[in-house]
Amino acid sequence: MKALLLTNEYPPNIYGGAGVHVEYLSRELAKRIEVEVRCFGSQSLSAQSLTVHGFEAATAGYGCQPTLRSVFGALERCVAMNAMGSDAQLVHCHTWYTHLGGIIAKLNYGIPLLITSHSLEPLRPWKREQLGGGYDFSLWVEKTALELADAIIAVSEGSKNDVLRLFDVSPERVHVIFNGIDPQEFNPVTGQDVLLRFGIDPATPYVLFLGRITRQKGIIHFVRAIEYLAPDCQVVLCAGAPDTPAIAAEMSATVAEVQKRRKGIFWIQEMLDTRSKVQMYSHAAVFCCPSLYEPFGIINLEAMSCEVPVVGAKVGGIPEIIVDGETGYLVPLEQQTEAPYEATDPDGYARALAERINGLLDSPSLRERMGKAGRKRVIQKFSWASVADQTVELYSDLISRRPTLP
């Protein structure tokens, strides 16, 4: 069996959860079947069962407005990914950037199309700030691909419900396979050099946020919650890769305003490598995931695997990861029912986040108990081996039902 994976992100070009997913899934799949990854970039790898080929686009020569360069760059790559030919028995796409490539492969090579839905474009209308009219294209290509796909993987039950609600897809074509984590890699460590490099005091409890600067992640709400946190705690914001100049400016202004009123706020804008992230997680007192829209949230698994209690919004797939009162706390979020999602009571949401975080800061024994329970849950339920086994089983089923071509 050979599977062709099409993805925007692949190491070293990773900036979100989808990239993390493909990195670990491809590695685990290659222990079972032959895997070829085609991605955006200049990557090149040839191992026994895993090959990686990056594709670049000549976006610098495009005459379109800057917001459309990533869109046309994706289309250029999707065509190139297919033009080189393929002997795979199935194509597996990740994120809308590669959906056209999946459509081309299915129709031209006659192979099954599988799509993992990491997030859904209709639920991210703030992407128009980033893509302009390209957002209308992303909506169209995602809808076309999902409704044409032979099967769809949803990363949570909440995500599956969204797929069925928003697209003309039969329930039997949608399969829930959770994201995974490597608990050996994300394991509590004692080293402190990364903290010291950024001026963080290891002896003082800190609350950690780690993620991209995007409206989806709710980071502005967390920053506003800082003024309600216990005054003697530190706050570490590992936040970079802003979607747009507008949200970058809003983030800068909001952080600057909070920093006027309290010390101990560290904003790290560089993208951290895995070793640095593990150390950040390992020494955190609490991890906060304030997302307004989150189909799954791998960052929660990473924190739990490092024995950190998590305070997260009760949205999307987060309640399927955090066990409220056992591995952390879920914070109810009153928000408008249709995208673009936004808290209807922003100050109330900020206060609710802070209340749960403060409760954990006040009780080291509770933090320790929840941290241990979180890592146990990760090991039992969210291993990449399990994800790969379920994925290969789905591959086999799709390939066995593929019609014989004349």
CATH 3.40.50.2300: does it fit domain 193-381?
Answer: no
**Domain 2-180+383-400 identical in fold to domain 193-381:** yes
Q: What is the pLDDT of residue 371?
A: 98
Structure-token pair, residue 28: 């685990």
Residue range 172-192, pLDDT digits in tens:
999 999 999 999 999 999 999
Q: What is the pLDDT of residue 406?
A: 42
Give the whole-angstrom CA distance, residue 371 versus residue 364. 10
Sign of the dihedral through C-alpha 394, 170, 7, 280: negative
Give Cβ neighbours of residue 287 (< 8 Å, ≥ 6 apart): 207, 208, 209, 210, 281, 299, 300, 303, 308, 309, 310, 311, 328
Write the single-letter amino acid at 297: G
Please state the pTM of the whole predicted model.
Answer: 0.84
Give the whole-angstrom CA distance, residue 380 versus residue 366. 21
Strand-pairing partners, residue 90, are 3
pLDDT less than 70: residues of the chain: 403-406
Domains of the chain by residue range: 2-180+383-400, 193-381
Write the single-letter amino acid at 172: E
Q: What is the pLDDT of residue 69?
A: 94
φ, ψ of residue 21 in degrees (nearest 5): -60, -50
Q: What is the pLDDT of residue 405?
A: 47
Q: What is the pLDDT of residue 404?
A: 54
Q: What is the pLDDT of residue 403?
A: 64
Give the whole-angstrom CA distance, residue 3 versus residue 124. 29
CATH class as words, domain 2-180+383-400: alpha beta
- The DSSP code sequence of 120-151 is -GGG-GGGHHHHTTHHHHHHHHHHHHHHH-SE
Q: What is the pLDDT of residue 244?
A: 87
